[in-house]
Amino acid sequence: MPERSAIPSVASMITAEGLAKRYGAKTAVNDISFTVRPGQVTGFLGPNGAGKSTTMRMIVGLDRPSDGRVTVNGKPYAAHRAPLHEVGALLDAKAVHTGRSAFNHLLAMAATHGIGARRVHEVIELTGLESVARKRVGGFSLGMGQRLGIAAAMLGDPATLILDEPVNGLDPEGVLWVRQFVRHLASEGRTVFLSSHLMSEMAVTADHLIVLGRGEIIADAPVADIIAGGTRPRVRVRSPHASELADLLAAPEIAVVRSEAGVLEVTGVAASGIGDLAAEHGLAIHELTPQNASLEEAYMALTADSVEYRTEAVR
Amino acid sequence: MTTITPTTARPSQRTRPTSLSFGGVLRSEWIKLRSLRSTIWSYVILVVLSLGMALIMTLSYVSGGGPAGEADAAGLSSEAQAGLLVQASTFGAFFGQLVVAVLGVLVITGEYSTGMIRSTLAAVPNRLPALAAKAVVLFAVTFVMATISAVGAFFVASAVFADSGIGANLLDASVILRILGAGLYLALIALFALGVGTMLRSSAGGIATVVGVLLVLPLVLQMIPADWVQDVLPYVLPNAGHSLFADTSAAADAVPFWENLLIVLGWVGAPIVGAVVLLKRRDA
């Protein structure tokens, strides 16, 4: 949208510098620095307990950092004159009083910033909550709670959105809705920071990934780089001459695994190389499929051997 | 549920920028208070208790069970008549204080138990305006509701007493000031409970603490025979508080109104200060 593109890119960034959070002897977040940029969906990935939620709470000032600082659009969140217009946050789908209706919850949140009832109706429509807006939140499903949280985050029409596990508890339609929604927000030039422990979802939603493990950043790179860097491409070969082919392929940089009778999983050589080799020796091939490395595998590789990865993929 | 129509995400606020203000936070807290059933019920119970207690007390008085025995209304001075009416009008406050105390605790602990507090503090990241707005709204609404119920109780009592020839003018200083005193006391109790609830962040713990201070503490102290304990008794919150509206002119060692008010303010101020410090320091 035109009014979005007018926003200078520096105007909506999240910047963390040496951010740390310790609870007594336990370190939840350990000296992390990162930048979340506008115009793309930045995924915040990591297993449960890695420190994602703690980091997000520190961004909006709910938790006080033990060390370091984090700014949104150049200032600490609390220093903004209209925080809800700067950042919309879905931190916990259940951050709503269960005895209040969705409409009254949004109305009360909006009132703090002088935002009127018209905008409340807009975000209710935007998130598809019209039919339940007057019902008490206590009876909401997890999915409706997530939609309400997103509605609240959108109240101030902020340039930056922070969404902690927004697809948690959503049905497939809801997951798709969130994916389209955040992609659309990013396309408007907004900054979208989205956490999840679902790697498959991140692979299709995010442009850029910050991977957190045990309170530290393991990777901070575009999704494509992480997938490419995390695993080596694999080729699945089905042939009646599987064992002969395996012998021919034998080389130090090539790994061949027999997954079932007549099927080889080959790493270290491209599908074309295997096809040429088989043709040269007149061996029939029934299947030759390059296996795309999944983010899931990349993620496993990352967390399994984070130190080795750090040297090659972290920018 | 519908799928997203991208155009509906169009920014609409850009044209009319708004910002965080204390007035806005006040409005927000007012919306929050009035949009919960527990609030409505608490104030309904407060009014019913006040009117009901006035009715019970005056009926038992005119039927001969009152403190003056077989009262001869005609023999009562106008001061004594006003005193009787005030007593009936404010009798409900002894029970109403428990209702507003529970409400005061729940206003904040309800946010902690449901997670709402994170939404509240994300919208008002400086935090103290949120607590201040809660306190202002709770105080004002409780003062108005408690005063209205005491005035209502005055009319109930006047109606019952009418046949016995007992009456007083509501706007007499000796009447209206004590009725306002009862309203003030209940509003301050609600603030005391808000402070305790904010410090403890737990509904059960908060309610137990305020009920303990209002009911158990004076009873326990009364049972200790030591002299110094008897000297401390007037400084206990409900004892000092009741003197804001009860007729103490008969007692020789009556503590002046302002002194009692200061004692109550001290009781209210301590947990509020604690709440301010903890709210600012703690993670939400």
pTM of the model: 0.84
List, in sequence order, the alpha helices (H) in A206-241: 223-230
Average pLDDT for A282-310: 69
User: Do residue A3 and residue B125 have CB atoms under 8 angstroms apart?
Assistant: no
The pLDDT, as a whole number, for residue A261 is 82
Is residue B70 over pLDDT 60?
Answer: no
Q: What ipTM is given for this predicted complex? A: 0.89
d(CA B186, CA B138): 11
The pLDDT, as a whole number, for residue B164 is 86
Is residue B1 over pLDDT 80?
Answer: no
| Count of helices and strands (H, E) across chain A | 13, 13
Query: Shortest CB distance from B20 goes to which of A83, A91, A177?
Result: A83
The pLDDT, as a whole number, for residue A6 is 40
Query: Shortest CB distance from B119 goes to which of A81, A95, A114?
Result: A95
Strand-pair category, A208-213 with A41-45: parallel
Q: Which residues of A67-89 are buried (b: 16+ CB within 10 A; e: fewer)?
A: ebebebbeeebeebebbbbbbbb
The pLDDT, as a whole number, for residue A38 is 94
The pLDDT, as a whole number, for residue A311 is 39
The pLDDT, as a whole number, for residue A187 is 95
What is the band of B13 on the pLDDT scale with cuts at 50, 70, 90? very low
Q: For residues A164 and A137, is the Cβ–Cβ distance under 8 A? A: no
CA of A217: how far to CAs of A20, A35, A312, B75, in Å?
A: 12, 12, 14, 87
CA of B3: how far to CAs of A83, A128, A188, B80, in Å?
A: 28, 8, 18, 73
> Which class for B13: exposed (0-12), middle (13-18), buried (19 or more C-beta within 10 A)?
buried
The pLDDT, as a whole number, for residue B248 is 59
Interface of B with A in 196-255 (CB under 8 A): none
Please list, in sequence order, all residues whose beta carbon lies within 8 angstroms of the beta carbon of residue B147, skipping any fewer than 6 positions away: B179, B180, B182, B183
Is residue B113 over pLDDT 70?
Answer: yes
What is the band of A56 on the pLDDT scale with cuts at 50, 70, 90? very high
Cross-strand partners of A266:
A235, A256
A-chain residues near B121 (CB < 8 A):
61-62
Higher pLDDT, B260 or A229: B260
Cross-strand partners of A194:
A43, A163
d(CA A36, CA A19): 14
Cross-strand partners of A164:
A195
The pLDDT, as a whole number, for residue B74 is 57
B-chain residues near A105 (CB < 8 A):
119
Is residue A305 over pLDDT 70?
Answer: no
* A75 token code pair: 């200032």
CA of A215: how far to CAs of A52, A225, A305, B207, in Å?
A: 8, 22, 15, 38
d(CA A217, CA A238): 40
Is residue A12 over pLDDT 70?
Answer: yes
The pLDDT, as a whole number, for residue B2 is 47
pLDDT in tens, B167-214: 899 998 889 999 999 999 999 999 999 999 999 999 999 999 999 999
* Mean pLDDT, chain B, integer: 89
Q: Which residue of B has its CA nearest to A64?
A: B283
d(CA B218, CA B235): 10
Distance from CA of B57 to the nearest CA of A (A): 36
The pLDDT, as a whole number, for residue B154 is 96
Interface of B with A in 113-132 (CB under 8 A): 114-119, 121-126
Best of B15, B25, B128, B283 to substitute, by most chain A Cβ atoms within 10 angstroms, is B283
- What DSSP assignment string belongs to B163-178? GGT----TTSHHHHHH
Compute φ and ψ for A157, nearest 5 degrees: 50, 55
CA angle A103, B13, B284 (to 5 degrees): 55
pLDDT in tens, A97-127: 999 999 999 999 999 999 999 999 999 999 9
Q: Which residue of B has its CA nearest to A78?
A: B125
Is residue A227 over pLDDT 90?
Answer: no
The pLDDT, as a whole number, for residue A142 is 87
Distance from CA of B140 to the nearest CA of A (A): 18
* B103 token code pair: 């409400």
Q: Which residue of A has its CA nearest to B118?
A: A95
Interface contact B31, partner A, CB < 8 A:
yes
pLDDT in tens, B122-157: 999 999 999 999 999 999 999 999 999 999 999 999
Is residue B42 over pLDDT 80?
Answer: yes
A-chain residues near B24 (CB < 8 A):
111-114
pLDDT in tens, A80-89: 999 999 999 9
Please report, rounded to a whole number, the percentage of residues in chain A having pLDDT higher than 70.
Answer: 88
The pLDDT, as a whole number, for residue A162 is 96
The pLDDT, as a whole number, for residue B188 is 98
Q: Which residue of A has its CA nearest to B11?
A: A157
R_g of chain B, CA atoms, integer Å: 22
